[in-house]
Chains A and B, each alone.
Chain A
């Protein structure tokens, strides 16, 4: 996948060290990228020419990149910290026998070569030095805003044939597209109603389901809830589960451990419903109701139904 954020960052770093910015495309869609690349200061697009690379094979993709990096004497290789990007770059590091700094948010080339990288899903930052002949790093999502340059460059497209053997294709990952269930996915939902231990029980999620239905949203949960077996792991919002980015996240009976906040940090607004005004989630929320989840949701769901039925909104007493 083409990341405009990575292109923007790479362009800045290339300018900083006075080297041309070159791109490598692997896989079936890569060669069509030249048009976009010209707006990001890329001088050369290297297209890996081997039909076996059309499908995702992490080691083969990595070995192609490592070979090219040596060929063009790359000083810095930047990839995106997506699942695939991170996996490929780890293999590149192993192949080239150089370190990899994952999930960077800032890069200051020079001696020492300084990066800021995320730990704990971004709840903590590390300043690190990369000491290697080639600096490898992946860029964390949303580290900066993608910005095309006002002038376009002429992109030279050049095919190269990496020396790959069959062993590089031992692992191939074949996509398996799931049937559309019609359910709104947690990652895409505009509203997420999340429940924690404070919901009380697995059955207690009925009121959260009802609220999510009324708002056209999805239900999520905290890790505590998954561990208790109340909800499946696919509902888990946090550092190791799903990361969400809704317009509103309604956190019900969730204390707000840092791992959970990593999962809901991209929400535009957070409404916390919690009996404990001192819970960390309340301090980090935009709106809060201090009270019992079930009592509050009963009142909220009843009021939505009243309003939807056309009744005039009651003014607060």
Chain B
């Protein structure tokens, strides 16, 4: 079977987000970059599918040239091929992103490469549009299940489960299908050193799609207003156990 995974390069934020002075971007001068958490799990799931069923795996991203780092991370985990849809760093909204990915998948098909499973993350960590996978599925006329936390493939069908507040929902879909993954479906492995070295040497297939206006335009970013509050330090002098238990009693938890 053939599996395609769509990923996104996002800043690795820590304790606080800082914006650039023009409010257009997160200030990433002191930040690293990573793959969105749900997509890390999608990559792992793709590698496991191929380990179990055989076939080939491909990773696809739309982003700046630097997103090659994230493609290589995915290849270090076991993905074989990587495709970069290179942008000039401008933001692409979900409609435009999905359209470029559909175009790439159709070009693959024209070249004789078809996919049984196309995976995405449920939503990206940064812009969180919750829709690229759905739009790709719609354009390719494929069934789609979002937010899955378990996947079993047998005889050209995928049985997927997703979590709800009261338990689980189950669906059985014929392949090919688009599946968007939620973190927790697996625990991604760490890349091995040989895996990293191999990934470094691999070729990245690049193309440059045309930017389009998808109709959702980012004007500016802003940080939510922080309500000022003070912290009461307990146990500074005396037994922290006693003071914490007094707090529990004050909050009527004991």
Binding site for B on A (CB under 8 A): 56, 58-59, 81, 83, 86-87, 90-91, 93-95, 98-103, 114, 118-132, 138, 167, 170-178, 187, 190-191, 215, 223, 226-227, 229, 233-234, 236, 239-241, 247-248, 255-259, 269, 271, 279-280, 282-283, 285-291, 296, 298-304, 307-308, 313-317
Contacts and interface: CB of A to CB of B under 8 A. Distances in A.
Contacts of B174: 170
Contacts of A247: 251, 253
B184 interface: yes
Contacts of B218: 126-128
Given A99-B216, A129-B217, A303-B245, A289 B16 contact: no
Given A129-B219, A307-B254, A287 B234 contact: yes
A298 B93 CA distance: 51
Interface of B: 13-17, 26, 37-38, 93-95, 123, 125-131, 134-135, 137-139, 141, 143-147, 161-162, 164-171, 173-174, 182-184, 187, 213-224, 229, 231-249, 251, 253-254
B170 A173 contact: yes
Contacts of A175: 164, 166-169
A178 B237 contact: no
A2 to B, nearest CB: 15
7 contacts: A94-B135, A120-B13, A126-B220, A175-B169, A255-B15, A271-B244, A280-B16
B16 A258 contact: yes
Contact of A280 (B15, B164, B187): B15
A234 to B, nearest CB: 7
B224 A303 contact: no
A240 B232 contact: no
Q: Which of B161, B182, B235 has the most CB of A within 10 A?
A: B235
B184 to A, nearest CB: 4
Listed residue (B164, B173, B221, B245) with the most chain A CB atoms within 10 angstroms of its CB: B245
A90 B216 contact: no
